[in-house]
C-alpha cells in the first residue's frame, strides 16, 4: 500500500520560544528498545522460582457446575495447586467503572465460575505448576462436570431470565430531548432502518499476560504485565484482595497492542496476584491465541432499529434509536459504557432537533464485552451515516447535499447537546465540519472519482465510492498530572500515570515538555505505568493521554521554567525581571551572549546535598495537573473506493482517505500511524472480522483461520491521510484533541456506502461485516440486502 | 548477660495531642519479615539468566603487575568474561565525599588494579560465569604475575614515597586555636602519652553483596544490595559509568549489619553494574568472609602523641595532639573524614583553652579504611580519657575530680569551639555533663563499687573499675526530607532517602509520623533506600536519621494535618477555625461526638479520579524538609568493672554501665539495643578484635579464628543502660540527638582505666586492644606497660 500524508498546517506555538517539537514529526522515543529487540513484554518477565498458571475454561456456553474433579491434575508431578471456584469464593467479583446505572453488581464476573458457567471460555479452574507445559497438561486433566442449560444468543430476542432472578436485560439506558413524537408526526418522510454491527474486537499481536509476585520482605504485592488502566486496576484489585493500594504496585511493560481490550482487569490478573500471595511464589500466566479469541473482551455487537423523521429538504426533524447491545455473559470493567456512548454520541456532526434513544443492555451466553477502539462510535457512525444515505435516497438528493443541509455550522460552536456520555454533558467544543467536507472533496477529487467509477461501471465493473462523516470524542477528565524532574546532569524525567500502549505517548509528552523547557526532546525520559512512581493515573483510553497528560505536561514544564528562572536569577545575582530562559539556559536579558546557566547547573545548585540549596525545597521538580469537565470532539471524514468481485462477492478497498481535524497535531507522523493502523482495524470490522457462534453457543472463531484479521494484502492500495488543525479545542491551552480513534470510526460506514454504490443498491448494506457470501447472494438475486446473520 | 534499662524520663510531647508513640518502647515495624524468615538480603536477590562474579585479589601487599594470564579461566565452560585492569581502564577511580583537603584524587582506588597493587586483597581481575562455583574455580586459574615492591606498614614511620610521585602522606590536617606554646610554657605540669588504637572494623554478620541489572527495555541500570548511602552511591557511580543519575536506581534490601562499612561504594559494586551494562545480563556478587576481612573497609588504626599542659589543680591549659592515621592502600569514599573528626572532636566535654592538632593522614600497604561506628570518637575518647587519668595521676587527684574541674558547665552552653569537623563549626549545642556524672555515680554505686574492688584486691584478685566520659556527635546536615502520603484506605506511606541498616529507623520515623497524625504507628509503612522513590537522600550514617529525617517527618506530618483540616472543613461545610483533628479524624470543635471524618475518607475526597477533588493538587500527600548547619552533641559516660586473670592475662568485663543523654528518646527500647550492640563492638576493639599483618604485609586475620569477635560469652554479665533526656537539642523541634554510637564510643577508654585499676598500674594501657599476652608480660614483670605491637 502507498500512504500519502497531507499535513495541512504546522502551527507555531505562540507560547514557547521556538516550538521546535510541537507539530513536528520527530522520531519516536519508544522505538530504540523495540527495534533492537530489547523490549520487555509480559512473556519476557520472569522471576526465579516462579509458577505457571493455566486456566481451565468452560466448554459449554451455559450450565450448572455439578462437580470438578481435580484429583488427577493434583497428582501430576510439578503441580503445586489446583483451584476451583470454591477456593476463591471469598474474593468479590470483578467490579466495573463508575456509572449512573444501578443494579449491575449481580452480573459481574467472579474470578472462577461460581455454580454456573455463562460462556465458553469462562475460567472454571486454575492450575499452578512449576512448568508451563505441566500446567497445561494438568489443566487437561481437570474435567468440570457441567449440566447444560438453555442458551441465549440473540440480544434482541424477547427479554428472558438469564439465571434465577437475573434478567437478560440488566438495564435500559434512556436518553433524549425534544418532542420526538411531534417530529415524527410532522415529518415529510420517515426513514426506518434495521442495522447490525458484528461482534468483533481488538486482537493485539501480543496476547494477554500477567505475572503476580508478592514481596514478603516489603509486604508489597506486584503485578507485571499491566497496561492501559494500571492505577484503576491497582485500586480495585487491592480492594478485592483486601490490601491497601499503596502496598500493591502494578507495572506496565511493553505491550503488543492495546486497542481497548488489553490492560482491562480480567479474572486471570486477579488469579495470579492472589496465587502469588497465597502460594508465596511468583505466578506467571501467558494467554494463548485460542484463549485470547474467546476470553479477552469482545465488542461492537449491536442491532439498531433506527428511524429519522425528515422534512422535504432532507433536514432531520427527529431520530428514534432503539438498539440492543450484546454484552455477553457478564458485566465487565466497562459496565454499560459502550451502550452509553452509543446512546449519547450517535448524532455526530448533525443538527437533530429531537432525539430519543433506548439502549437495551443485554446479556447473552457469549464472551463478555468491553470497549474497542472508537467504541460506540464505530457502531453509531455506521448507523447514522447509513441513515443519512437512506434519507438522501428517500428525499432524492445527493449524499453530500443531505449532509451539508444537516451539518452544524461553526458559528453554532460550542454546541451543547442535551445529552450526556461517560458522565459528561455532551458539548461539541469546536468544529468546522463543512469546511472539512470541502477540503476532503477537493483532496479526493470527488467529481473525477465519481466520473471514473461511472466509466468503470459502464465497462461492467462493480466499483463504488462512499463517504462518511463522524465526530470523535477525546480528552475525558476529570484530571491528569505529571511530575517533571531535571536531574543533576540535565536529564529530564517525566513521570505520568498515563499508559503507553504503543500510541507514542512518550514521544508526544516529551515534545511538549521539550518545548516548555527549550531543550531537545531526547533528553526526556517518560516514566509511565508504574504505580509506585505516581500515586494517581488514568492510563490510556478514550484518546485522552495527549490532551490531558499533555496539558499537564505543559503546566509542569512552565513551573520548572519559573523555578529555573528564579534560581538562575539568584545564581546570576540578578532580579527575576532581569533574566530570561532560552535553549534550556537562564541568562541576563541585558547580556544574552554572556554567562548562560543551563538546567543541569541549576539542578546542582538546588541539590539537597548542596550548600547552595538554602532553605528551599530541593530539586528542580514540579508537578502539573490539568482538569477537565468536558470531553472535546475531533471530527473527520472517511472516503472509501471499492471494487466488488462479481464472481465471489468479495469487496476490495482500492483507495481510502481519512480526513481528520485534531485541533493541534503534536506529532503528525504519530497521527498518521494511528490513522492507518486504525483504518486496518476498521476494515476488519467492515469486511472480515467476526466472532461467530453455533446454535449451542460454541465459538466458531477461535483461530486466525476463522477469525480473519486484515493483513497488508487487504489494505487499500492507496491511503491518503489528511490532518487538519482548523478547529483547535478551546478546552486546553494547546488546542489538542485526541487522534487515536479517527482512523477506525467511520470505516464501516464509508465502506458500506461504497459497496451500495458499487452494487447500485442504495441501502443494500444493513450489517457489518459485509461478507462475500452476502454480496454473492445479492448478486445472484437471492436477497434484497445483506441478511442479519452470515 | 543481664541487661538493665533505666529510662529516666518519658517526656510528653507538647506539640502533639497525646504523644502516644514518641518516647514509648513500641515494637519494631522491621521485625515481622525478619523473624518470619521473609527478609531479603543481597544473597536472596536473584534474576533469571544472571551471571556470578568472582574477584581475583592481589596476593602481595605491594607490587607491579607484569602480566595477568586469563586464558585458562576463559576456557572454562560457563565462563562468560574475565576482566583485568585493562578492560576497565576507562572507568575513573572511586571518588570520595566532599572535603576541604585538596589533592587526594591520585590516591583513589581503581575498580581493578592498574599497574600496581597496594594491599593484599585488592581486586586484580573479575571473572563472570553462569555459576558461582565455576566463577570461583575460574578465578583460581587467573594468576597475576606481580613483581613485589617494598611495603609500608607503619603509618608513623618517616614519610616516604608510596609510588612514583605519591607520598605516603597525602595530607596533614591542622586545626587548633589559642596560644598553645604559652599554655605549655606556663604549665604546672606536662603530661605526655604515646597511645595507639588497633586496626579493627565493623564486621557485619552478612558479608557484602551487590547485584547489577540493566533493564534495556527502559534504559535503566539497577543495583540491588545497596545500603547506607544509596543516593550518593547512585550519583557517583552514575558519573563513573557516564549515566544520568535518573537512569540508575539503587535499591536497598535488608542488611545484616551496617556499622559504617556496609553500603559504602566499593570496586565490586561498580564492577557488577558495569558488567550488567556490558554483558547485558544480571550480575551477582556475594562476598565470602575471607574477602570481607581483607577487602571491606578497615578502620580505627591511629597512633597519638598527645600532651597536656595543666595547672597545679589539674585544670587543662592546652593540648597538643599529633597523630598518625593509617588509611591503608587507597583513599576510599570517606577520604580523610576519620582523621578530620579525630582532630576536631578529641576535646570532648572538657574546657581546653588552647589546642593544636596535626593529623598525619598516611597510606600503608594494608586494606583501605573508612568509618566504623563512632569513628574518630572511639579513638579520641580513648586518647583523651587516658590523658585525663594521667593528669589525675600526675597532679595527685582523683580521676573523678580531675574531670569535674575541667567539665564545661551547662551555663556555658551552647559552647562554640574554634574548630570544625565534617565541614561544620563545632558548637556543643547542649549538655549537663556534671549532672550526668552525678547520676552515673549514684546509679553505679561508685563508692560501694570501689570498696568492693578494694576488698577483692585485698583478697588477691586483680579487679578494677574505670570510668570514661565522652561527647558524641549526630544530626549532620545539610538537609533531609520525607514524603508522606495517606492512601484511600488510610494506609500511610512515608518515603525517605534515609537508609535502614538495622537501627530501627522505620519504627522511629513511624512513631513521629503517627503522633503527628494521631494514628497508630502500624498504619505507616516506611519506604527507604529506593532511589527511584525519592530523588534525594543521605542514607544512614553519622547518627543522623532520627534527628534529620525524624524532624522532616514531623514537618511533613504537620502539613498533612493542615491539609486534612482544610479538606475536612470543606467536607463538614465548616470554616477552618471551626474544625480540629484528633485520633486521625477531623470533626467540628463544637460537636466532638458528631461526625468524624477519618483520613481515608479525606484521601478519597481528594483522589485524582474523584469529582470532589476540585482544582486542587490531588492526594493527601506532603513533603517535609529539615535543614541543619550544625551537628548536635549527645554525651555520656561509660563505667567498666573488670577482673584480670593473673595466670593468663585475660581481661573479663564483669559489669558495665552506659549512661547516655540523647536529648529526646523516641523509642528507648531501640536505644537500649543500639547501646548494647555498640558496647559489644566497643569491647571487641578494646580487648579482642585486631587486623594484624606480617612483615610482608600479608594479613593474618582473615578468618574468625584469627579475628576475634565478641560473642555473648565475652559480654559483661551485667549491663546497665541509663538513658537520660536532660539536655534536649535546641537544634530540632523534638530536641532529639542521635543514639547509635554512644554504646561504642568510650568502651576502649573505660576498659583501659579499669584494667589500670585492676593492675594498680596507672597508665599501663597505652594501646588497644588489650591482649592477654601484653597483660601477662606486665604481670611477669617483663614490661612496664602494654607494648606498641602485640
Residue A159 has pLDDT above 90, yes or no: yes
Q: Which of A114, A169, A175 is nearest to A146 (CA)?
A: A114
Find, among B608, B233, B224, B564, the residue nearest to A483 by Cα. B608
Of B489, B615, B625, the CB nearest to A245: B489
> Using the beta-carbon criterion (under 8 Å), do A478 and B627 form an inter-chain contact?
no
Give the residue among B360, B210, B362 at the shortest CA–CA distance from B296.
B210
Phi-psi region of B579 (alpha: psi -120 to 50; beta: other; left: phi over 0): beta
Residue-level pLDDT at A11: 53
pLDDT at B11 (0 to 100): 52
Residue B652: strand, helix, or coil? strand
At A611, is the pLDDT very low, low, confident or very high (cuts 50, 70, 90)?
confident
Ranges of H-type helices in B606-726: 668-683
Of B536, B611, B613, the CB nearest to A618: B536
For B353, the 3-state DSSP assignment is coil
Q: In a mutagenesis test of the A interface, which of B32, B246, B282 is the best target, namely the one with the most A β-carbons within 10 Å?
A: B246
State the smallest CA–CA distance between residue B541 and chain A in angstroms.
14
pLDDT value at residue A477: 87
Judged by a CB distance cut-off of 8 A, whether residue B460 touches chain A is: no
Query: pLDDT digit string (tens) for A285-326?
Result: 999 999 999 999 999 999 999 999 999 999 999 999 999 999
CATH topology of domain A157-200+297-408: Aldehyde Oxidoreductase; domain 4 (3.30.365)
For residues A424-450, average pLDDT:
97
Q: Is the pLDDT of residue A130 over 60?
A: yes
Distance of CA B747 to the CA centre of its chain: 15
The answer to whether residue A19 scores a pLDDT higher than 50 is: yes
Shortest distance between the Cα of B668 and any Cα of chain A, in A, equals 25
A1-11+430-474+633-790: what CATH class? alpha beta
The CATH superfamily assigned to A42-151+202-295 is Aldehyde oxidase/xanthine dehydrogenase, a/b hammerhead (3.90.1170.50)
Strands (E), A472-584: 479-486, 492-496, 524-528, 579-582
Q: What is the pLDDT of residues B400-431, one digit of tens each?
A: 999 999 999 999 999 999 999 999 999 999 99
Instruction: Please determine, for residue A788, whether its predicted confidence score (pLDDT) is greater than 60.
Output: no
What is the model's pLDDT at position B609? 86
Chain A residues in contact with B532 by the CB 8 A cut-off are 532-533
Q: Determine whether the interchain pair A216/B33 forms a contact, defined as Cβ–Cβ distance below 8 Å.
A: yes
- Fold: same for B1-10+429-474+634-790 and B476-627: yes
Residue B194 contacts A where some CB pair is shorter than 8 Å:
no
Half-sphere exposure of B776 (CA within 13 A, CB side): 9
Distance CA B740, CA B714 (A): 21
Residue B667's alpha-carbon distances to A425, A590, A660, B227, B658, in angstroms, are 56, 57, 65, 23, 17
- Specify which residues B226 forms β-bridges with: B252
Interatomic CA distance for residues B666 and B511, integer angstroms: 8
A337-345 vs A377-395: helix crossing angle, rounded to 10: 30
Residues 241-260 on B with a CB inside 8 Å of A are: 244-247, 253-254
Q: What is the pLDDT of residue B3?
A: 84
Q: Would the pLDDT of B15 be above 80?
A: no
Residue A787: the pLDDT is 46
Residue pLDDT, tens place only, A79-115: 999 999 999 999 999 999 988 899 999 999 999 999 9
Residues A27-44: what's their mean pLDDT? 96
Task: Give residue A5's pLDDT.
Answer: 81
H helices within B459-598, ranges in order? 505-517, 550-571
Give pTM, 2 decimals.
0.95
Q: Which A residues, 17 through 76, put their C-beta within 8 Å of a C-beta on chain B?
A: 32-33, 36, 38-40, 44, 46-48
**What pLDDT, in 10s, does the model give residues A372-391?**
999 999 999 999 999 999 99
Q: To the nearest whole percent, how much of chain A has pLDDT over 90?
A: 92
At residue A4, the pLDDT reads 84
Q: Give the gyration radius of chain A's Cα atoms.
A: 27
CB atoms within 10 A of CB B322: 16
Evaluate if residue B787 carries a pLDDT over 50.
no
Best interface-test mutation with A: which of B541, B618, B630 has the largest number of A CBs within 10 A?
A: B618
Task: Say yes or no to pLDDT of A578 above 80.
Answer: yes
Average pLDDT of the segment spanning A592-618: 93
Cα(A103)–Cα(A111) distance, integer angstroms? 20
**Average pLDDT taken over every residue of chain B:** 95
Confidence of residue B16 (pLDDT cuts 50, 70, 90): very low
A585 phi and psi, to 5 degrees? Answer: -135, 150
A580 has a pLDDT exceeding 70: yes
- Give the pLDDT band (50/70/90) at residue A2: confident
Average pLDDT score over residue span B213-220: 96
**How remote is the C-alpha of B36 from its chain's centroid?**
27
Q: Between residues 641 and 660 of chain A, which touch chain B (CB distance below 8 Å)?
A: none
* pLDDT tens for each residue of B299-326: 999 999 999 999 999 999 999 999 999 9
The predicted-structure confidence for A231-245, as pLDDT tens digits, reads as follows: 999 999 999 999 999
Rounded distance between C-alpha atoms, residue A132 and residue B649, angstroms: 66
Query: Residues A570, A494: contact at Cβ < 8 Å?
Result: no
- Domain chopping of chain B, boundaries: 1-10+429-474+634-790, 476-627
Q: Please give the pLDDT value at position A785.
A: 57
User: Is B489 in contact with A36 (Cβ distance < 8 A)?
Assistant: no
pLDDT class of A6 with cuts at 50, 70, 90: confident
- The DSSP-derived string for A553-589 is HHHHHHHHHHHHHHHHHHHTT--GGGEEEETTEEEET
Q: What is the mean pLDDT of chain A?
A: 95
| Sheet with A579-582: strands ordered across | A579-582, A585-588, A597-598
pLDDT of residue B788: 43
Q: What is the pLDDT of residues A697-728, one digit of tens each?
A: 999 999 999 999 999 999 999 999 999 999 99
pLDDT at A83: 98
**For domain B1-10+429-474+634-790, which architecture applies?**
2-Layer Sandwich (3.30)
Query: Is A608 within 8 Å of B485 when comparing Cβ atoms?
Result: no
Q: Please give the grid coordinates belonging to residue A534.
A: 505516581
Residues of B in contact with A618 (CB under 8 A): 479, 481, 535-536, 625
* Fold of the CATH domain B476-627: Aldehyde Oxidoreductase; domain 4 (3.30.365)
Strand ranges for B290-431 from DSSP E: 302-310, 316-326, 355-362, 415-421, 424-428
Amino acid at each position: 500500500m502507498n500512504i500519502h500524508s497531507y499535513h495541512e498546517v504546522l502551527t507555531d506555538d505562540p507560547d514557547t520560544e521556538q516550538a521546535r517539537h510541537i507539530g513536528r514529526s520527530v522520531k519516536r522515543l519508544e522505538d530504540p528498545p523495540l527495534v533492537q529487540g530489547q523490549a520487555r513484554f509480559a512473556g519476557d518477565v520472569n522471576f526465579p522460582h516462579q509458577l505457571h498458571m493455566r486456566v481451565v475454561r468452560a466448554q459449554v456456553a451455559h450450565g450448572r457446575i455439578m462437580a470438578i474433579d481435580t484429583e488427577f491434575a493434583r497428582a501430576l508431578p510439578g503441580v503445586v495447586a489446583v483451584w476451583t471456584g470454591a477456593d476463591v469464593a471469598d474474593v468479590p467479583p470483578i467490579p466495573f467503572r463508575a456509572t449512573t446505572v444501578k443494579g449491575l453488581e449481580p452480573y459481574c464476573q467472579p474470578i472462577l465460575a461460581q455454580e454456573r458457567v455463562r460462556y465458553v471460555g469462562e475460567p472454571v479452574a486454575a492450575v499452578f505448576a512449576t512448568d508451563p507445559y505441566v500446567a497445561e497438561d494438568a489443566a487437561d486433566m481437570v474435567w468440570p462436570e457441567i449440566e447444560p442449560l438453555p442458551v441465549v444468543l440473540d440480544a434482541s430476542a424477547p427479554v428472558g431470565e438469564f439465571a434465577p432472578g437475573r434478567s437478560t436485560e440488566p438495564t435500559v439506558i434512556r436518553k433524549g430531548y425534544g418532542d420526538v413524537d411531534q417530529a415524527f408526526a410532522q415529518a415529510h418522510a420517515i426513514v426506518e432502518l434495521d442495522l447490525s454491527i458484528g461482534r468483533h474486537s481488538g486482537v493485539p499481536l501480543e496476547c494477554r499476560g500477567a505475572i503476580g509476585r508478592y514481596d514478603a520482605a516489603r509486604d508489597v504485592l506486584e503485578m507485571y504485565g499491566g497496561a492501559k488502566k494500571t492505577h484503576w486496576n491497582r485500586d480495585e484489585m487491592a480492594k478485592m484482595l483486601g490490601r491497601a493500594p499503596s502496598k500493591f504496585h502494578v507495572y506496565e511493560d511493553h505491550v503488543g497492542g492495546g486497542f481497548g481490550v488489553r490492560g482491562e482487569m480480567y479474572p486471570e490478573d486477579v488469579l495470579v496476584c492472589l496465587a502469588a500471595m497465597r502460594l508465596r511464589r511468583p505466578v506467571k500466566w501467558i494467554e494463548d491465541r485460542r484463549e485470547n479469541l474467546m476470553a479477552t473482551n469482545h465488542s461492537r455487537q449491536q442491532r439498531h432499529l433506527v428511524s429519522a423523521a425528515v422534512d422535504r429538504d432532507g433536514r432531520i426533524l427527529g431520530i428514534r434509536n432503539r438498539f440492543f447491545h450484546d454484552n455477553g455473559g457478564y458485566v465487565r470493567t466497562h459496565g454499560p459504557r459502550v451502550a452509553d456512548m452509543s446512546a449519547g454520541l450517535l448524532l455526530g456532526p448533525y443538527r437533530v432537533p429531537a432525539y430519543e434513544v433506548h439502549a437495551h443492555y443485554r446479556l447473552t451466553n457469549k464472551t463478555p464485552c468491553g470497549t474497542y477502539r472508537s467504541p460506540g462510535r464505530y457502531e453509531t457512525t455506521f448507523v447514522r451515516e447509513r441513515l443519512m444515505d437512506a434519507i438522501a435516497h428517500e428525499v432524492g438528493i445527493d449524499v453530500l447535499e443531505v449532509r451539508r443541509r444537516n451539518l452544524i455550522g461553526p458559528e453554532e460552536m460550542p454546541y451543547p447537546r442535551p445529552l450526556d456520555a461517560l458522565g459528561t454533558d455532551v458539548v461539541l467544543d469546536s468544529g468546522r465540519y463543512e469546511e472539512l467536507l470541502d477540503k476532503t472533496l477537493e483532496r479526493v477529487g470527488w467529481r473525477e472519482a465519481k466520473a471514473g467509477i461511472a466509466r468503470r461501471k459502464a465497462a461492467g465493473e462493480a466499483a463504488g465510492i462512499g463517504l462518511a462523516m463522524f465526530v470523535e470524542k477525546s480528552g475525558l477528565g476529570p484530571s491528569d498530572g505529571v511530575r517533571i524532574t531535571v536531574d543533576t546532569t540535565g536529564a529530564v524525567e517525566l513521570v505520568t500515570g498515563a499508559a503507553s500502549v504503543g500510541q507514542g505517548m512518550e514521544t508526544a509528552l516529551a515534545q511538549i515538555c521539550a518545548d516548555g523547557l527549550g531543550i531537545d526532546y531526547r533528553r526526556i525520559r517518560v516514566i509511565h505505568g508504574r504505580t509506585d512512581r505516581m500515586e494517581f493515573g488514568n492510563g490510556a483510553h478514550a484518546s485522552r493521554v495527549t490532551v490531558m497528560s499533555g496539558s499537564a505536561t505543559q503546566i509542569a514544564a512552565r513551573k520548572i521554567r519559573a523555578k529555573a528562572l528564579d534560581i538562575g536569577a539568584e545564581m546570576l545575582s540578578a532580579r527575576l525581571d532581569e533574566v530570561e530562559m532560552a535553549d534550556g539556559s537562564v541568562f541576563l536579558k541585558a547580556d544574552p551572549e554572556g554567562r548562560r546557566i543551563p538546567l543541569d547547573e541549576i539542578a546542582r545548585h538546588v541539590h539537597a546535598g548542596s550548600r547552595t540549596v538554602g532553605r528551599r525545597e530541593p530539586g528542580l521538580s514540579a508537578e502539573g495537573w490539568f482538569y477537565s469537565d468536558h470531553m472535546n470532539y475531533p471530527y473527520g471524514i472517511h472516503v472509501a473506493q471499492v471494487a466488488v468481485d462479481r464472481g465471489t462477492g468479495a469487496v476490495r478497498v482500492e483507495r481510502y482517505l481519512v480526513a481528520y481535524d485534531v485541533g493541534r497535531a503534536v506529532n503528525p507522523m504519530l497521527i498518521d500511524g494511528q490513522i492507518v493502523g486504525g483504518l486496518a482495524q476498521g476494515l476488519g470490522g467492515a469486511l472480515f472480522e467476526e466472532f461467530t457462534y453455533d446454535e449451542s453457543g460454541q465459538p466458531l472463531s477461535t483461530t486466525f483461520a476463522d477469525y480473519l484479521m486484515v493483513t497488508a494484502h487487504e489494505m487499500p492500495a492507496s491511503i491518503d491521510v489528511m490532518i487538519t488543525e482548523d478547529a483547535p479545542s478551546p478546552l486546553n491551552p494547546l488546542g489538542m484533541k485526541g487522534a487515536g480513534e479517527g482512523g477506525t470510526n467511520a470505516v464501516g460506514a464509508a465502506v458500506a456506502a461504497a459497496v451500495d454504490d458499487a452494487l447500485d443498491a442504495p441501502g443494500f448494506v444493513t450489517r457489518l461485516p459485509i461478507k462475500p457470501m452476502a454480496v454473492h447472494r445479492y448478486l445472484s438475486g437471492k436477497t434484497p440486502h445483506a441478511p442479519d446473520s452470515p
